[in-house]
Amino acid sequence: MEEFIDYISNSKIIIHNASFDVGFINAELIRCNMKELNEDNIIDTLILAKEKFMGQSVSLDSLCRKYNIDLTGRDVHGALKDAKLLASVYLELIG
């Protein structure tokens, strides 16, 4: 965990549905007697998407389709592929 915290430092962390992932990360940090993530450094694309597309599906797949982002190879969930897709979605969300 120390290596992870050193790696992210004070960077902004872009997460889709951050409350889910941050819950796991913070639980591990607590288990390691470390401080929880600073919420100010977390950008939740789910919240951004819900504000932009009220009442519509805002899953990562749905957002990729809305922005014509290629979903080829996303047959199976994969962290690296999802991170790359989310980076593209985030750039579209912020204009």
* Catalytic residue positions, numbered: 77
CB-based burial label for 49 (10 Å; 0-12, 13-18, 19+): buried
**Which amino acid belongs to residue 51?**
E
- Give the max Cα distance, the chain: 43
Residue 83 near residue 55, CB atoms below 8 Å:
no
The tokens for 58 are 């805002």
